[in-house]
Amino acid sequence: MADRYLTFTGTAPGRFLTRRLGLPRPAPLTRWSAERPVFTGGLLHLTAGKGMPGLEQVLARTGLDAGERDPAAVVLDATGVRDVGALAEVHAALHPVVRSVAASGRVVVLGAPPDAADHHQAAAQQALEGFTRSLGKEIGRGRTVNLVRLTDPAAAESTLRFLLSPKSAYVSGQVIHVDARDTTAPDDWDRPLSGRTALVTGAARGIGAAVAETLARDGARVVVLDVPSAQEEAERLAARLGGSALALDITAADAGERIADALPDGLDVLVHNAGVTRDRRLANMPAERWSSVLEVNLASVLRTTDALLARGTLRPHGRIVATASIAGLAGNAGQTNYAASKAGIAGLVRALAPHALAGHQVTVNAVAPGFIETKMTAAVPVLIREAGRRMNSLAQGGLPVDVAETVAWLAHPASGAVNGQVVRVCGQSLLGA
């Protein structure tokens, strides 16, 4: 469903009324397209404290030219900030330029992991989180602000390319940790998944279909998995993407074994997207509504992941990306079952990630969507829908492609240093922020 309020605020009367009444003023977001894969403006590189060696070379490969006037993106290297006094350099660096960042532009702050042996450094680096999230809430005009903690800029190249591109339009206020680990750059950054196989569950429609399309765009051979009742839709999508369809109830006890049997040559990317809602307040929720949501959204993810890892179906350097939700991180009235299942996904990711990496060379991450414009949200009563759209720093709902682009970044072969992360795709929702 079209966001008529966003369209109205782009007109002269809309701008006048929203300014006079103090109403949200969302700005149209710039998203990736084949015609405009990167921003046309420049990249401004700033430093607070001692700069990080090698960062300049990585930034030069993002496709953005160095430029100081009306930059499309600003990168502030604050990895060298080690005490409260040095935080003044963060203010001094960004204060003069923040207003000049182009609409739909990017601000990325780079921080270092807090040092447990140095409480002054830890305090200063933790301060960057509050700074980044607050700046994201005030910067406006469709611009985003994120913090990346890293020690090796080469390991963060895929992350920086993502955050400094139109692909990250609905990711803001996030703190992303990038480990110091060797990564392999793809032969072709435009089609990084060439020669790789990806399976997406619940992929016949909605967010799952957008994920399948985006992974195929990036070169993957996509297996579109959905329930037998959606087989016709799944087959049409698979045919359009040059992939294949797999009709399967993901809650079946042998679902993992059947997936492994269907993919004898192995799998590189596993995206757990299938999910259901059965909303009702706990006092009015029968056991069936509780168990059906937990079974689809969480138990099936655990079973199939365990089975595919045990069978060796996921190849070395593979990727598992699960779908959580901001409801699981912040809670939501009427969704105790759904929120429990999605919080469980976050727990799964954080616990499994180090073991999957050590034992199978597979990373495990999750996306946590906020208000995404789908058929499901279009059916929400209008006042609740409008509130959901506006309760984030970008003052609008996201699109399925925003989730898909984030999945594609986590699935990227050069994203091996990103592990155990739950990344919100919510426009910096006020819920749980």
User: The domain spanning residue 50 has which CATH number?
Assistant: 3.40.50.720
Q: Are residues 21 and 37 in the same domain?
A: no
Helix 87-94 and helix 119-138, axial crossing angle in degrees, nearest 10: 30
Q: Pairing relation of β-strands 363-369 and 314-323?
A: parallel
Q: How many angstroms separate the CA atoms of 170 and 62, rounded?
A: 19
Query: Is 182 within a domain?
Result: no
pLDDT the model gives residue 294: 98
Query: Is 310 within a domain?
Result: yes
Closest CA to 403 of 433, 373, 379, 431: 373
Q: How many angstroms separate the CA atoms of 140 and 142, rounded?
A: 6
Q: How many angstroms separate the CA atoms of 20 and 16, rounded?
A: 6
Say if residue 418 is exposed, middle or buried (CB neighbours under 10 Å; 0-12, 13-18, 19+): buried
- Which of 177, 207, 229 is the last residue before a domain boundary? 177
Q: Are residues 203 and 66 in the same domain?
A: no
Query: ∠ CA(241), CA(32), CA(174), 5° rounding?
Result: 110
Q: Are residues 139 and 106 in the same domain?
A: yes
Helix H or strand E segment including 43? strand 42-47
Query: Is 107 within a domain?
Result: yes
Q: How many domains does the chain have?
A: 3
Q: Are residues 1 and 51 in the same domain?
A: no
Query: Is 407 within a domain?
Result: yes
The answer to whether residues 245 and 224 touch, using CB atoms and an 8 Å cutoff, is yes
Q: Are residues 77 and 214 in the same domain?
A: no
pLDDT digits (tens), the chain, 433 positions: 678 878 888 888 888 888 888 888 889 999 999 999 999 899 999 999 999 999 999 999 999 988 778 899 999 999 999 999 999 999 999 999 999 999 999 999 999 999 999 999 999 999 999 999 999 999 999 999 999 999 999 999 999 999 999 999 999 999 999 999 888 899 999 999 999 999 999 999 999 999 999 999 999 999 999 999 999 999 999 999 999 999 999 999 999 999 999 999 999 999 999 999 999 999 999 999 999 999 999 999 999 999 999 999 999 999 999 999 999 999 999 999 999 999 999 999 999 999 999 999 999 999 999 999 988 777 777 777 888 889 999 999 999 999 999 999 999 999 999 999 999 999 999 876 5
Reading the block at residue 276, the tokens are 């259901």
Write the single-letter amino acid at 354.
P
Q: What is the largest CA-CA distance in the chain?
A: 63
Q: Are residues 351 and 206 in the same domain?
A: yes
Distances (CA, A) of 357 to 95, 218, 319, 365: 40, 23, 10, 11
The answer to whether residues 279 and 322 touch, using CB atoms and an 8 Å cutoff, is no
Closest CA to 137 of 173, 93, 174, 100: 173
Write the single-letter amino acid at 296.
V
Catalytic residues: 338
Query: Is 430 within a domain?
Result: no
Strand ranges in 112-193 using DSSP code E only, listed in sequence order: 144-149, 175-177
Query: Is 341 within a domain?
Result: yes
Closest CA to 202 of 212, 194, 192: 212
What residues form DSSP beta bridges with 77? 47, 110
**Cα radius of gyration rounded to whole Å, the chain:** 21
Q: How many angstroms separate the CA atoms of 302 and 299, rounded?
A: 5
pLDDT the model gives residue 1: 67
> What strands lie across the sheet with 314-323, from one edge to the other?
244-247, 221-226, 197-201, 267-272, 314-323, 363-369, 422-425
Query: Is 431 within a domain?
Result: no
Write the single-letter amino acid at 252.
A
What residues form DSSP beta bridges with 175? 147
Q: Are residues 65 and 15 in the same domain?
A: no
Q: How many angstroms separate the CA atoms of 121 and 406, rounded?
A: 31
Reading the block at residue 234, the tokens are 């799944």
Instruction: Report how many helices (DSSP H) and strands (DSSP E) the chain contains, helices first.
Output: 16, 13
Q: Pairing relation of β-strands 267-272 and 197-201?
A: parallel
Q: Are residues 147 and 97 in the same domain?
A: yes
Query: Is 192 within a domain?
Result: no
Q: How many CB atoms lie within 10 A of CB 98?
A: 16
Q: Are residues 143 and 208 in the same domain?
A: no
Q: How many CB atoms lie within 10 A of CB 16?
A: 10
Q: Are residues 39 and 73 in the same domain?
A: yes
Q: Are residues 249 and 380 in the same domain?
A: yes
Q: Whole domain around residue 120: which residue ranges?
A: 31-177
Q: Are residues 18 and 37 in the same domain?
A: no
Q: How many angstroms separate the CA atoms of 252 and 346, rounded?
A: 22
pLDDT the model gives residue 69: 80
**Contacts (Cβ under 8 Å, ≥6 apart) of 384:** none
Closest CA to 107 of 52, 163, 68: 163
Distances (CA, A) of 302 to 289, 351, 355: 19, 12, 14
Write the single-letter amino acid at 432.
G
